[in-house]
Amino acid sequence: MRIALAAGGTGGHMFPAQSLAEEAQARGWEVMLLTDARGDRYTDSFPCERKVLLKAASPSARGIFAKASAVLALLGGISTASKALKAFGADAVIGFGGYPSAPSMLAAQRAGIATGIHEQNAVLGRANRLAAGKAGFVAHGFPVLDRVPKRTARLKETGNPVRRAVLDVANTPFSPPGTGPLNLLIFGGSQGASLFAKVFAPALAALPEDLRLRLKVTHQVSDEGRAEVFETYRKAGIEAETASFFNDLPQRIADSHLVIARSGASSVSELSVIGRPSLLVPLKIAMDDHQRINAQVLTDVEAAGLILEDDLTPETAQKALLTLLSDSARLTRMAEAAKGRMAEGAAGALADLTEELVAGRLPA
């Protein structure tokens, strides 16, 4: 079987697609990836026989020239995807969202190729909404999916596929910190690195000395702000490692007593699979406020704390961190509550749906 995976833009779309690609190759399928230049940054370990880069732009662009450019990019993307799908002989195309997903899915549906959708967030994204009406299935990662068009085919909760590196550490038990070292991981991606550096480094530096001296901080921060953040930690006597990117992030999550992160779908899913307590800061400008809704799967069971971006200051962060880091028993309860909040086995479930789709047991 030959399947094409359409995803792009961010790791939140690319990592689930990679998980399905890994499962597909394990089943002997051939895989083609349709993505854009932004998504291509995440493909170093992406298993596929072919990779096609599409031009893509936001359909929500403002201004007449930006909108015209977006339309041209969409049309060009449809043309490129159509040729690639025909040459590959795709049996199905599975879309994971992101700008390049839209032209790929529209090209497939125009050519009569079976399509399916996987939505990582608790709100169906705009690219996925465009294709949902003609898709054979809409799989979703969170228990509830908002903004689903009325004429949508089969809905199926599969959970979010996670990378093999996440599954490899999924059974790592949480080790309560007690009165020993406190391992703290901070990452915010491109939309959080600068803000988190300005807020959480001084917040941690303002903690009581007995807590500061126990901290072992791993902080993802942009190269531009790295020296300043490191100096803040050094002056406060906090042991810290800073970098703009960590290739072994799943292992670092497993090693943590508390994780500070955005509440993107991948982050929430990985926290659930590994089972770690967290302090979440939803991205304010996320489409349809989906990150705040994502966070609820953990905050509703007290597996995570939450600070809205408008409320995030060094003072509010310091208060929240003091409460969490001072209570080893609470961190343990949060870790237990986080574990398994999202459906597991998502990559296999999604591959099964794809097989049913191609076999005609689902509508094309």
Q: Binding site membership: which residues?
A: 10-12, 121, 163, 190, 291
SS3 40: helix
Binding residues for UDP-N-acetyl-alpha-D-glucosamine: 10-12, 121, 163, 190, 291
Give the strand order in the sheet containing 258-261: 239-243, 215-220, 182-187, 258-261, 278-280, 304-306
**Exposure pattern of 129-162 as b/e (b: 16+ CB <10 Å)?**
bbbbebbbbbbbbbeebebbeeebbeebebbbbb
> Whole-angstrom Cα distance, residue 354 to residue 358?
6
> Whole-angstrom Cα distance, residue 141 to residue 120?
5
Q: What is the DSSP string of 207-241?
A: S-HHHHTTEEEEEE--HHHHHHHHHHHHHTT-EEE
Q: Tell me the pairing of strands 30-35 and 239-243.
A: unpaired
Secondary structure letter of residue 126 according to DSSP: H
Of the candidates 178, 195, 138, the one whose C-alpha atom is nearest the C-alpha of residue 314 is: 195
The two structure tokens encoding residue 58: 């936001």
Amino acid at 154: R
Chain centre to alpha carbon of residue 230: 27
Secondary structure letter of residue 169 according to DSSP: T
Give the strand order in the sheet containing 50-53: 50-53, 30-35, 2-6, 92-95, 114-119, 137-140, 154-157
Amino acid at 19: S
> Whole-angstrom Cα distance, residue 13 to residue 42?
10
> Whole-angstrom Cα distance, residue 141 to residue 161?
8
Amino acid at 40: D
Q: How far is CA 67 from CA 41, 56, 74, 154, 164, in A?
A: 25, 12, 10, 32, 39
